[in-house]
Amino acid sequence: MINSQQNRRTPKSYDRLRDLFFRDIEILLIEDSAVDQVVFCRYVERSQMPFVVTAVGSLAEAREKLANKHFDIIVADYYLPDGVCLELGIIFYEYPVVVMTGGGDEKIAVGVMKAGAKDYLIKGTGSGALKMLPLTLENVLIRHHAEREREELEARADEMQKMESLGRLAGGIAHDFNNILGSIIGYTELAVEDVEEDSITRRNLQEVLIAAQRASHLVEQILAYTRDSAEERVRVDLVEVLDEVMNMLAHSIPKNVEIEIIRQVDYAYVHGNETNLYQVVMNLITNGIQAMEAEGGILKIRMMEIIQGRKPMICVEISDQGCGINRDHLERIFEPFFTTKAPGKGTGMGLAAVQGIVEYHNGRIDVSSQVGVGSVFTLQLPSDLND
């Protein structure tokens, strides 16, 4: 009777976990008693759930394992040869932890729960708690997953709020700020005219100009990222936008970088804000060129029309043979102010602006990259179907 009930539950649980994980679930068992390890593994096996157990006998071994491998959940005996499991320190809070205690140790159980454990199990004969093991693990995993999701949502909402206020601030000061920059640039240019051709003063004034242009560029990127939705939109031909960008860049492309443009369309009409779309193409191409600065290579720009879920989209693929982007960075490149470039070289607002603008135009931007091989950025924007 009990068996058949368990069997009916098992496939369902399996589904719930599989929906969340799409793979086997890695358990790290920290248990110094060999017998208890065996018992634990038997219960896990019997559950027919997609669990894989790695067992270690001490905190030191656990730390070592955790440093080299990802685990989904930790099950730890309270007392271990080299301390109590709470001494795992930060690990205790980063992972969902289920603590096992001997019978009669309920006080300890309450303590570990207060310290952040997700659940506890009483082991020892007769308690029957280990029978609950699979169910406990399943519940903890699902709860942990939900908590993480909520944390992520909150963090994203926070981020959006921050950017919104940054946008409002930027919009509010853009006018005054650009007036100020206008004066800096203008007066410096006037001064440049008055000093001798190859004097140090002239070179220094030229540096002031470069700095002011950088400041102006930064304001523009921030404004683009925090899109003002009242911005004017018209029919824009991305072929023309690309031509303009290439014209603008013509003199600054390093000798070791070759540009190859493959246009599979004559026109690429989208509906949008021309200045912003120019910024998108400019930022993506600039990044590609900068990535190849050291070793050189070919920057390929392919423009085509594709059908995405019945909708025609203009697709611009920009692939470089540059340094590539490692996994950790790949997650962060669209963050405002994330940059790996030297101070003064990059604002880190380039891709943030790209993403802001692309979202505002109902498009998408994807990236794939391999360190040492190169990166591909794929921009898709809905075709403008009006004639």
Partner 1 sequence: MARVLLVDDDDQLRSMVTQMLEREGFEVTEASNGVEGLESYADLETDIILLDMVMPRRDGLMTLQDLLASYPRARVIAMSGGSRGRASWLPIAKRAGAVGVLKKPFTKDQLMDSLAAALANPWK
Ligand X SMILES: Nc1ncnc2c1ncn2[C@@H]1O[C@H](COP(=O)(O)OP(=O)(O)OP(=O)(O)O)[C@@H](O)[C@H]1O
Tokens 């909708």, residue? 311
Q: According to CB under 5 A, which one of 134, 167, 297, 350 is a site residue for Mg ion?
A: 350
Q: According to CB under 6 A, which one of 31, 320, 360, 383 is a site residue for ligand X?
A: 320
Minimum CB separation of residue 340 from ligand X in Å reads 3
In terms of Cα–Cα distance, which of 378, 386, 117 is closest to 235?
A: 386
Q: According to CB under 6 A, which one of 59, 268, 291, 316 is a site residue for ligand X?
A: 291
Q: Is 350 in the site for ligand X (CB under 6 A)?
A: yes
Which of partner 1, Mg ion, ligand X, none is residue 341 near (CB under 5 to 8 Å by kind)? ligand X
Closer CB to Mg ion, residue 170 or residue 333? 333
Range 191-229 burial, b when 16+ CB lie within 10 A, else e: ebeeeeeeeeeeeebeebeeebeebbebbbbbbbbbbee
Which of Mg ion, ligand X, partner 1, none is residue 322 near (CB under 5 to 8 Å by kind)? ligand X
Minimum CB separation of residue 18 from partner 1 in Å reads 49
Structure tokens given for 196: 């001798």
Q: Is 329 in the site for partner 1 (CB under 8 A)?
A: no
In terms of Cα–Cα distance, which of 142, 98, 143, 138 is closest to 121?
A: 98
Which of Mg ion, partner 1, ligand X, none is residue 254 near (CB under 5 to 8 Å by kind)? none
List Cα–Cα distances, 174 to 146, 178, 219, in angstroms: 41, 6, 7
Closer CB to partner 1, residue 184 or residue 367? 184
Q: What is the pairing mode between strands 297-308 and 311-320? A: antiparallel
Closer CB to ligand X, residue 87 or residue 159? 159
Q: Is 168 in the site for partner 1 (CB under 8 A)?
A: yes
Name 363's Cβ contacts closer than 8 Å, sequence gap at least 6: 270, 313, 379, 380, 381, 382
Residues that bind partner 1 (CB under 8 A): 168, 171-172, 174-179, 181-187, 189-190, 193, 212, 216, 219, 223, 228, 230-232
